[in-house]
Structure 1
Amino acid sequence: MTQTTSQSTFTPRVFSGIKPSGGLTMGNYLGAIKRFVGMQGDMQTIYCVVDMHAITVWQDPAELAKATREVAAGYLASGLDPAQSILFNQSAVAAHAELGWIFNCVARVGWMNRMTQFKDKAGANAEKVSLGLYAYPALMAADILLYHATHVPVGEDQKQHVELTRDIGKKFNHDFKTDFFPETIPVIDGPATRVMNLRDGTKKMSKSGESDMERINMTDDADQIAKKFKKARTDPDALPDTMEGLKDRPEAKNLVEIYAALDDRSPDDVIAEYAGAGWGKFKPALADLAVAKLSPISTEMARLMDDPAEIDRILANGAVKAREIAEPILQQTYDIVGLLRPAR
């Protein structure tokens, strides 16, 4: 018998995750983790280290395990409270892969062909990349809908994948004449939801950039943070009195938006304060602010990484809580599709 759920009855629930590959940057913090922490208490929050997504490209096994713990440490050091939010690593909940396969059978090849991130990552070698890299948006949809998540905080570059999640959920509901999966809303708000490179304001801050000076690593100490901001690329002009004046100044716009995000202010407020100022004034102020906000996180991350057993304990406890939500939803999905399982 097909089971249905009214859209209005879904519990407001947040889900999002970060891939453990290459180390956390300030882009991950401002674009994701800081926002995750800020959503605690507003509705049920579920956050994940998406280690299964990481292996769509080759990962050294020992480094993957370390990177998974480092992302978890970044969450915790930034203020994520395991008593308020569920925190776990994706591979610890097998239902992600199980629902991912069902969604592989729901999603259409044409939808996957339109995913711009695959095109960007595969480049000219599309025939040689893993099938997982091509199909991972279906697994991302499973990550979200496995918890009937209604809200997904993401950066602008992930909006297309959340829209695909909605398409997959809608097609499943249509094909099986049910309202089982909710329509998920991407949450994209605030300054610096897409943090750019400190040496090239037209490129996203990346873990894999050629120079370490391009990014702020969340493991950088106070001296490294200050040095990178003071040496960040700018232009010869002073700051204007409105954000509109930064329209064609990507490096300047990036630094103003980073300042605003770190200080919980609007970019307009920051530009009003520093209108007419030169970089000799603004960059040291930004460096001091970044050190004050970020170095305590890097210090706490180092402390946590010295106790991997504690990180593993928190992740394991979170996985138990995640399974309690995910397993009934997966079993109902199996019933809807008509897949038989041994009697329990």
Structure 2
Amino acid sequence: MLKKCTFIATVLMSSFVVSGEAGAADDAEVRGLTTVKQFTLDHNARLVAQAALLEAAVADYAAVIAAHKGDYAAAWAADGPKLAKQVEAIRSLWLEASNQYETIEGIVAGIPETAKYDLILDAGNPGTESEDVAQYDISLPDGTLLERPGNLFHGITEPLFWGMDASHVKLPADLNGDGKITRGEMLFDANLALGAVQALTHWSKALETDMASWKPNRDDAFTSVVTMTPTIGDYFGEWKESQFITGEIGAFVAQSRLVDVQGIMGGCKKMYFSAISPVVAESDADLDRRIKAAFEELLALVEDTYAREKAGARFGVEEADALGNEAQDIADRIVAMVLQAAAQKNVNIRG
């Protein structure tokens, strides 16, 4: 897979297209856009690899359950230690796969040609909602068809693997062997799990195919940054509502939402620094400097907040709100300046 991505990089120069401003882009812009595409393909390849490992691990778990004819209690009684290790491994593999995607989400979700994959993989709603619905279905191994079930990472597999949805908990189980069963210690629905991770593998590969076909261009680069940078307030809101603030189990239980925020905003920063900065700096070096400084300020705020959380700081709802508002203010300032630069360069921000 990585060899495939390296090959793609060698042909990017010939496929590069500049739209919005007449004439060819300068060498720095071409190199920057090529770098962003290659960065995305590299992490996409790792996502595909991790999804395959996760699918294999879930298949092993499902095989143990199937060996006991779908009787989870019998499976636990006979193979408890094995199942406990499998659940631990599945969670670890899920985290690695999710983090690989979060690293490129700020790019993928901001490019019109690939934005649909963000809804499917990470951010889309189920068909019961009126907007931002993930447009796909899942066929489970037992033949059940789940129509528009919501996004794969945070809507289906995370709640499933960490026991956040009681309807898919098949058996409470003392996974760590300490004589107590706490929340999250359980065996989950193997049928749903296998169908969901098979879908995760499929859509990760589909994203890779479309990303490989994407022709990097100036309009998409600006559109990506303008679209994704201001979403930071929503992510802080999700962090505020998670167990890391309220103590109540809900979404984003596998790890702090701030980890995801670092990845998403890191992708926005990379797009600007690599692909847009050469364009802006050419005619307005001061504006470019201010945009870069604002991105550094934004990432420093997120990184500092997460470092405090890891060190044991407990944030209240009001402080989380204040931090989210501060982050949103910086993001809005970035967008205003990038839009100013876009107007100067006659860039078309795609809706």
TM-score range, shorter chain: under 0.3
Give me the TM-score of the superposition, normalised by structure 2.
0.23
When you count helix as a share of all residues, which structure comes out higher? 2
Q: TM-score, normalised by structure 1?
A: 0.23
